Amino acid sequence: MIESAAWLALLAPANTDKTVVDKLYKAMVEAVNDPKVRALFVEQGAEPLVMAPKGLTDYMTAETTKWAAIIKQIGIEPM
């Protein structure tokens, strides 16, 4: 069985200064913790969650690896 979930992320270029990444992360945490913002997510059936930059990088790497294996296994080819 293959499980999949939709998710959104705020991304920045790989060479973005750590202070900028930290500011963006802090702003995202504050936004997602705002009751009005949380309510907007929940109204749309989404579960608001903020991952730390390293956690998001690890998650994206794992998802890329997982889906690459599935694509290879079922034989999907580029058009």
Q: Lowest-pLDDT range, 1-5, 13-17, 68-72?
A: 1-5
Split at pLDDT 50, 70, 90, the class of 69 is very high
| 13 in a structural domain | no
Kindly report, residue by residue over 15-26, the tens digit of the pLDDT.
999 999 999 999
Split at pLDDT 50, 70, 90, the class of 3 is confident
* Nearest Cα residue to 25 out of 59, 45, 52, 55: 52
Kindly report, residue by residue over 35-52, the tens digit of the pLDDT.
999 999 999 999 999 999
Give whole-number Cα distances, 59 to 14, 54, 66, 78, 79, in Å: 16, 9, 10, 24, 27
Whose structure tokens read 């930059």? 53
| 3 in a structural domain | no
| 2 in a structural domain | no
Domain total of the chain: 1
| 6 in a structural domain | no
Q: What is the pTM of this model?
A: 0.81
Residue span of the structural domain in which 35 resides: 18-74
